[in-house]
Structure formats: C-alpha cells, structure tokens
Structure 1
Amino acid sequence: MSNQRTSYRVPRAHGPRVVAIGGGHGLSNMLRGLKAYTENLSAIVTVADDGGGSGMLRQDLGMPPPGDIRNCLEALANTEPLMRELMHYRFTDGSLAGQSFGNLFLAALNGISPTFDAAVERMSQVLAITGRVLPVTTADVQLEAEFENGASVVGESKIFYCKKKEDCRITRVRLLPEHPRALPAALAAIREADMLVLGPGSLYTSIIPNLLVDGIVDAIRQSDALKVYVANVMTQEGETEGYTAADHIQAIFQHSAEGLFQLCLANSSPIPKGVAARYAEEGAELLQCDQDRCAALGVELVRRPVATVENGYVRHHPGHLARELILLHAERSVRIAGSTFDYRDDTYRVE
C-alpha cells in the first residue's frame, strides 16, 4: 500500500449500531449528539418513573410512564419546528397544568394501540425519528430503595426525599415485582450492537433499574460490543452525595454483574468556581475520578472534555460527548489495518 493518505466519509446510515441504556435528561441529551454520527441508534429506557406528569398518567390510565420515552423521542425527532414546539408544550392552567402535550399524545396513541411499545413505535413514525426508542419492559413496575440504616421506600419519586431524611447511603434498589420480562426488541438490539452505552443519568433511578429487568444483564454480558459507562459530571443531591466514579461503578456491578463493562468515560473539563459553589450548597460536587479504584474493579477510566454549563447547570455537551464516544468506538473497535478515525471531519482515514 502506498504511503499516500486516503480517506472516505462514513455516512450516518452506515454508522455504528449504538445502544444507549438509561433514562432521564442525561440519556436524551446524549442521543441528540449521537444522531449526528449514526442513524443506527437504539435507546432502551427505564419505565420506573412515578412522579410529575408521567406519574399522573400512569395512575389515571394504568399505562407505563411516558416522560423519559417522550424525551428520547423528541431528541431523535426530525420534524418541523412547529411539531417540536408542540411536543414540548406544557399546559399552564386547569386540570392539565404542568402536563406535557407530548405525554398526552403518547397516552392517546397507547389508547389506540395493542401494546405500549406499539404506541411508542407509532409516535416514532409521526416524529420521523432517527433510530428507535424502546421501553426496557412493558410491565407495571415500581422502584424500591433500601438504605444503610435499614429504612426503605417504594416509589421512584420518593427516593430523593427519603434519602435526605435518612441521611445515609442507598444500599440497594429493586423492582416490584422483581425480574419483569424485558421487551424482546430491547434484547435483540443489545445482541446486535457495536457499542453499548450505559448512562449518563441518575445512578439508582435511571441506570440501574434497566439492569434489574430479566434478561438485560445476560444480553449485555454475552454481547461482543464495546461497553462504555458514561459517568455523571457531578454527584447528585438526594442520590449519590459523596460518591466517586468507582462508587458508581461498584453500585452498578453489585446490581448486575462484575465486569459488566470495561470502560468508563468521565469528564475532564473544569467547572467554574461560582457554579461549583452553588452545587456545594446542595451537597453536590464535581465527580472525583479515583482511577486506581476503578482499575481495581477492572474498569479503565478515560477522561475527556465533555461537560458544559447551561443556565447555571452542569451538563454533558451533546456534541462533545457523542464525538468522544464515536472516537472511542473507532479506536477500540475498528479493525482495519492502518486506519484511524478523524473526528474533525467525521472520516475514517486509511493509509
């Protein structure tokens, strides 16, 4: 082969098959960035939420909570600005005050569909999304948390307040009923993935609940995909105060299996002092990356500049996070001799 360097652009249609597992705003935020690199996206989303507008619809209609699903659908949508605005709209008055139109739309589709996952698929078609959004299970599940002092509480929305009251760490969470059946499409997506991404998101209420669904952990363990845990940038008030990166990893392994993943992507960007001080008032801080402890758990800690500050809140930057994940996949998974991935112009370069 000549020494001349050649390159070719990788169309999104031929991008890696990425499966992201989690919930909350962290997952949807990451999906916004990933869809710029690949169309082969699957989001597997927790359905343990019981608070806010989702909780109201769950209680009133007996359906799985739509909120986290809707956020992911919106993140992957390719619609006109008016439709996006409509999906985001929240009612301000009357009995619907605080409720999202997107939640109501998904609830209506659920009413005319044979199953909840069929309703999600229909909404995906309406919004012309990139990829797929899959509830991890369609079972009616509640989340229970147990604390170091022996106290426990049932209900995802109650865990924050209970932890603040008990002032001790969470030792275990579980689903009620235990071991619900995973959506077959979710298991298939994991089996077919090139890269599996856990997080970012709330440790005990967004990430771990997915791993408690029957079949999910086994599918992840059997997969040959690159497996990456995206650590949160900050610790979370009412959930992970005082936790390090290794504490997060250890909690995931305790609820799933040792060595479930071998890579942890953490932030290296500094946080402005004023923003850090405001978080400190709430008992939250920049996540400490204890590399030696992570290594002892069999996990390589990779630090990259993936954080940003938005309206005074620390968030993962969608574009930066997606770029680093795709770059990690290219570095660790591409097996073309002499090839590299140049994220600056989204091309594989082959020498």
Structure 2
Amino acid sequence: MTFDEKANHTSKSRRPQVVVIGGGTGLPVVLNALKEQNADITAIVTVSDDGGSSGSIRNFINVVPPGDIRNVLVSLSEISQEEKDVFQYRFDSSDSFFSGHAIGNLIIAALNEMHGNIFDAVQSLSKMMKVDGHIFPASNEPLTLNAEFVDGSIQAGEKEITDKDKRIKRVWVTNTNSKSEPEAVPPVLEAIKNADAVVLGPGSLFTSILPNLMIPNLAEAVKKTNAEVIYICNIMTQLGETDHFSDCDHVRVINAHLGGHYINTTLVNGAKIDMSKFNPKDYDAYLEPVKNDFKGLREQGCRVITDDFIDQHSGLVFHDGRKVAKEIINLAYAAMTRRKE
C-alpha cells in the first residue's frame, strides 16, 4: 500500500487531530485553513498578553487577556459573518472605558465572571458560537511573561519587554495572582498527548509561542507526545524580539527553552519577498525577511520543508494558510500511518 493509499484509508476512519499552540494574528490564518482541510482542531491560546484592550480589561477586572481567544473563536466559528463582525466590533467612541474595546473581549470577560474561570467561559462561548474544534486557554489563570536580556537585566510584562528593544536571552511565566507554579488544565495535556500533529506558530517567538511552552506541565506534554511537532517559522523578523534572526535561530531558541531537540519538522519560506510593497513606516513590527539556514536547521535535528509560503498584499506579509495547512495535514497523516504500522 502506497503512502497516499494509506492516507486515504486512514482519512476514512477519523480526521487528523491537530493541536496548534500560539497566539497573535498568525494563528487564525492557520486555523481557518486547517478547518477547510477538515482537521480535528484544538487551539491552545496564549494567556499572557497585557497590551491594548486585553491588557486594559485585565487590569480592570483581573481576567485572562481575551484578545487572542476572541480571534481564535471567530476563526473556528460557524456563525454568520454578520454575527462575527458584531463580536469583533471595536468601539471608537470617546467614552473613557469603551473606547478601543472589542465587544468580544467584554463578552469573554463577562462569561469569565459568570463561570468563575476562563476555561469554562471559553467552552460555553464555543458552544454559542458553534465552534468547529476545541479552544483551550493555555492556563486557567492569567500569567505574567518575564524576560532576562543578554545584558543580564530582567523585565516583567509583554509590552514592557518588547518596548525595551533589547536582545532577549530567555523568558518564563509566573502566575499573576499567586506564587503557585503555572499549569495547564488536563484537557490541554490530553489534547497534546492524543494529537497527530502539534503545531507551534506562526507568531511572535518570545511573546506568543514560548509563553505557552514555559508552562511546565504543558512543556512536558509536548516533549512526550508521539505527534509530529511542527514549527511554522515566521516570515519576517520582529522588532524588539527577533532582530536579524534566521530560521535556525528561531528553532534553536525554542529547543533551548525546552531543553532538547523537540522540533521534528520546520516549515520555512523560501520565496523572495517583494519589499517594494512593504512600508516599514506603517508596519514597524517587521524588519527584514527571516534568513534561511538549512544546515543549521538540520543540525537542530529537524526535517525542513521549504516552499513559497507567503501571501503578500497591501504591504503586509502573511503566511499562505492553505499551503501551510496542506503540509501540516500531510505530516499528520504520516504520523497516523506510523502509529498503525
């Protein structure tokens, strides 16, 4: 039986189980595309964001920041586009509290108060929004991101860390409201254990991906899973986080934080980016295309898949979700087949 025949046979028995871990604007792009590929999706979402509307709500009512969760809910929801638009609507009034807040953030905060925790709040809202898949906050408690810079100084808070514009040596997370060790709830760990593919990224390396992996029991689940662990490397470097990083630098940092070579496959863009469409004055979070270092990636013990993974329009650079999702599904089916052999 050929690989394609095996994959087709396996696909009739169940959908591939894909766990995507991250946050930020890149996560919904991949989730939307995976939904089109009929994957059984679990999104594990960062809870350490302290900027914008999420940070303001967190400061007022002490809730896990809802922004990334809101965007993931919309990406996996089956409700009408009009309902999604209402959920995503951001107030532009001059009211001192509502100005800049997204309605969805307020709804998530309200459900958090009603249920007493963010995990149950998100599960309840997932049902209301007819989510195809599962959405799990990485932790049931708000977390604070901490960083040590190369110069030895230490800073707490995601926004404060990136504002320092210093080279980051390492990051870790602490519970915002207690001295107990951060932990993921059992459904998060079970999803990683049972996955065919565990996907990291795309997203900010130090502020969207690593905060999840610095939750000790979540990191341990990733280390022990039999799933294919896939890293979707960023297309562009990010100001204050990954200045001048190559694709290998990204993987090396993740492996260093995990304490070993745990990335099985890396998806990297190999296409040239049309910088004439790029306006750094408007989008200063991006500095330059991430350089390829295939030799370095192989030395990190991971398979490299390279392609034209970019979708560039209006001066912005995004991943082409469909191309990325197809590679993820192929790798997930391969992992499913290996388990059956």
Determine if the TM-score, normalized by the shorter chain, exceeds 0.5.
Answer: yes
**Separation (CA, whole Å) in 1 of partners of 2:75 and 2:244:** 31
- Pair 1:201-2:203 in alignment: yes
| 1:190 maps to which of 166, 189, 192 | 192
Q: Report the alpha carbon displacement of residue 82 of structure 1 after superposing the two structures with TM.
A: 1.6
Alignment of 1:218-297 (within 5 A): 218-275=220-277, 278=280, 282=284, 284-297=287-300
1:190-211 deviations in Å (ceiling 9; x for gaps): 0110111011100000000101
Which letter does structure 2 place at the counterpart of 1:71?
Answer: N
| Secondary structure in 1 matching 2:136 | strand
Identity of aligned residues (%): 34
Q: Report the alpha carbon displacement of residue 310 of structure 1 after superposing the two structures with TM.
A: 2.9
| Secondary structure in 1 matching 2:208 | helix
**Separation (CA, whole Å) in 1 of partners of 2:326 and 2:132:** 17
Partner of 1:57: 57
Native 8 Å contact 2:7 2:334 kept in 1: no
Partner of 2:90: 90
**Separation (CA, whole Å) in 2 of partners of 1:293 and 1:306:** 20
**Separation (CA, whole Å) in 2 of partners of 1:75 and 1:247:** 30
Native 8 Å contact 2:251 2:263 kept in 1: no
Which letter does structure 1 place at the counterpart of 2:255?
Answer: F
Native 8 Å contact 1:144 1:154 kept in 2: yes
**Separation (CA, whole Å) in 2 of partners of 1:91 and 1:316:** 29
1:28-49 deviations in Å (ceiling 9; x for gaps): 2210110111241100111010
1:54-73 deviations in Å (ceiling 9; x for gaps): 01111111110011111111
Q: Report the alpha carbon displacement of residue 257 of structure 1 after superposing the two structures with TM.
A: 2.4
- Pair 1:299-2:302 in alignment: yes
**Separation (CA, whole Å) in 1 of partners of 2:236 and 2:68:** 21
1:214-273 deviations in Å (ceiling 9; x for gaps): 211211121111111110011111210111111111111111121112211111232113
**Separation (CA, whole Å) in 2 of partners of 1:193 and 1:324:** 16
Q: Report the alpha carbon displacement of residue 324 of structure 1 after superposing the two structures with TM.
A: 2.0
**Separation (CA, whole Å) in 2 of partners of 1:333 and 1:198:** 19
| Secondary structure in 2 matching 1:196 | strand
Which letter does structure 1 place at the counterpart of 2:306?
Answer: R
Shift in alpha-carbon separation, 1:320–1:129, aligned structure 2, 3 A: same
Partner of 1:340: none
| Secondary structure in 1 matching 2:140 | coil
| 1:175 maps to which of 173, 189, 199 | 173
| 2:146 maps to which of 138, 144, 147 | 144
Aligned residues between the structures: 330
Which letter does structure 1 place at the counterpart of 2:263?
Answer: F
Q: Report the alpha carbon displacement of residue 291 of structure 1 after superposing the two structures with TM.
A: 0.7
Q: Report the alpha carbon displacement of residue 334 of structure 1 after superposing the two structures with TM.
A: 3.0
Which is further off, 257-266 or 117-126? Answer: 257-266
1:113-162 deviations in Å (ceiling 9; x for gaps): 13210000011011101101101111232111121112222111112211
Shift in alpha-carbon separation, 1:278–1:62, aligned structure 2, 3 A: closer
TM-score, length basis structure 1:
0.88
TM-score, length basis structure 2:
0.90
- Pair 1:311-2:314 in alignment: yes
| 2:163 maps to which of 148, 161, 164 | 161
Partner of 1:115: 117
Which is further off, 218-227 or 124-133? Answer: 218-227
**Separation (CA, whole Å) in 2 of partners of 1:8 and 1:214:** 37
1:310-336 deviations in Å (ceiling 9; x for gaps): 321100122221122112333555359
Which letter does structure 2 place at the counterpart of 1:150?
Answer: G
Which letter does structure 2 place at the counterpart of 1:126?
Answer: M
Which letter does structure 2 place at the counterpart of 1:294?
Answer: L
Partner of 1:320: 323
Native 8 Å contact 2:7 2:333 kept in 1: no
**Separation (CA, whole Å) in 2 of partners of 1:252 and 1:50:** 22
Native 8 Å contact 1:279 1:285 kept in 2: no
**Separation (CA, whole Å) in 2 of partners of 1:195 and 1:279:** 38
